[in-house]
């Protein structure tokens, strides 16, 4: 039987590392094939350190960002990383680009998807990426789109943790213990040479979410001793036979 699969839709090429690198590494270890789509390199808006170097050009920044993302992806064990190179600040997708993402979704047939918070006034590319992920998920479910292809079921869309959490209206309902793969996530984080100022920040976030994991898994009355975790907000309800 084919492996289970998951799909990450990342607005810029480093976002998947900070926000769901643990989830990626953990599911790869569980035998999932994880595909990451980077809609842009974040070459204009998220590469300040590179732009401060002498003689920098857009092409050089993109090449550098691609290298960093590929290194991070291999540290996490990502099965497949795809760069759509659609430009950032602002990120925009025309209909053809949306169909390209729909093709990926249908091909991957993810058991679950991951993308950004639905609101982000600091970074509209992020919330736009989620809108696109939802729109393309919907198109991938439509029997009338490229009839004859396998249509998509109903994978959960998990929204990963944004920067400046409280400003985004993001509220986690799921905590994932990533302690066993923390070393991989930290190694992936350290591939992001252009954003060194975020390395310790996202280590702190993982420790704080580890605390929430411990508290919500039973606290001192038998909770799991998770040291690092990632939080997610799910968009769709779960369908269950038992609570």
Nearer to Zn ion, 69 or 176 (CB): 69
CB of 10 to Zn ion, least distance (A): 7
Closest residue to Zn ion, based on beta-carbon distance = 12
CB of 92 to Zn ion, least distance (A): 15
* Cα–Cα nearest to 123, from 194, 52, 198, 45: 45
Q: Which of residues 6-35 bind Zn ion (CB under 5 A)?
A: 11-12, 15
What is the separation, in whole angstroms, between the first and last Cα of the chain? Answer: 29
- Burial (CB < 10 A; 0-12, 13-18, 19+), residue 237, is exposed
What distance in Å separates the CA atoms of residue 134 and residue 137, rounded to the nearest whole number? 5
Q: Which of residues 130-159 bind Zn ion (CB under 5 A)?
A: none
Nearer to Zn ion, 15 or 28 (CB): 15
Nearer to Zn ion, 11 or 139 (CB): 11
**Number of residues in contact with Zn ion under rule CB under 5 A:** 3
Phi-psi group of 132: left, alpha or beta (phi > 0 → left; psi -120 to 50 → alpha; rest → beta): alpha
Rule CB under 5 A: say whether 68 interacts with Zn ion.
no
What distance in Å separates the CA atoms of residue 163 and residue 18, rounded to the nearest whole number? 9
Nearer to Zn ion, 202 or 213 (CB): 202
User: Which residues contribute to the site for Zn ion (CB under 5 A)?
Assistant: 11-12, 15
């Amino acid at each position: 039987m084919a492996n289970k699969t998951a799909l990450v839709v990342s607005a810029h090429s480093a976002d998947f590392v900070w926000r769901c690198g643990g989830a990626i590494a953990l599911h790869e270890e569980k035998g999932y094939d994880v595909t990451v789509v980077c809609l842009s390199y974040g070459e204009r808006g998220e590469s300040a350190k590179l732009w401060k170097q002498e003689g920098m050009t857009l092409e050089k920044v993109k090449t550098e960002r691609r290298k960093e993302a590929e290194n991070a992806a291999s540290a996490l064990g990502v099965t497949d990383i795809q760069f759509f190179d659609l430009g950032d600040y602002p990120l925009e997708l025309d209909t053809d680009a949306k169909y390209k993402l729909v093709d990926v979704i249908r091909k991957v047939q993810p058991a679950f998807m991951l993308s950004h918070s639905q609101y982000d006034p600091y970074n509209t590319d992020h919330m736009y990426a989620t809108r696109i992920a939802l729109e393309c998920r919907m198109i991938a479910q439509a029997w009338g789109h490229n009839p004859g292809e396998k249509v998509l079921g109903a994978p959960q869309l998990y929204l990963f943790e944004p920067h400046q959490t409280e400003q985004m209206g993001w509220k986690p309902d799921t905590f994932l213990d990533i302690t066993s793969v923390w070393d991989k996530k930290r190694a992936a984080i350290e591939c992001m040479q252009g954003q060194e100022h975020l390395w310790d920040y996202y280590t702190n976030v993982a420790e704080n979410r580890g605390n929430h994991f411990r508290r919500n898994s039973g606290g001192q009355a038998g909770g799991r001793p998770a040291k690092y975790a990632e939080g997610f907000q799910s968009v769709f309800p779960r369908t269950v036979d038992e609570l």
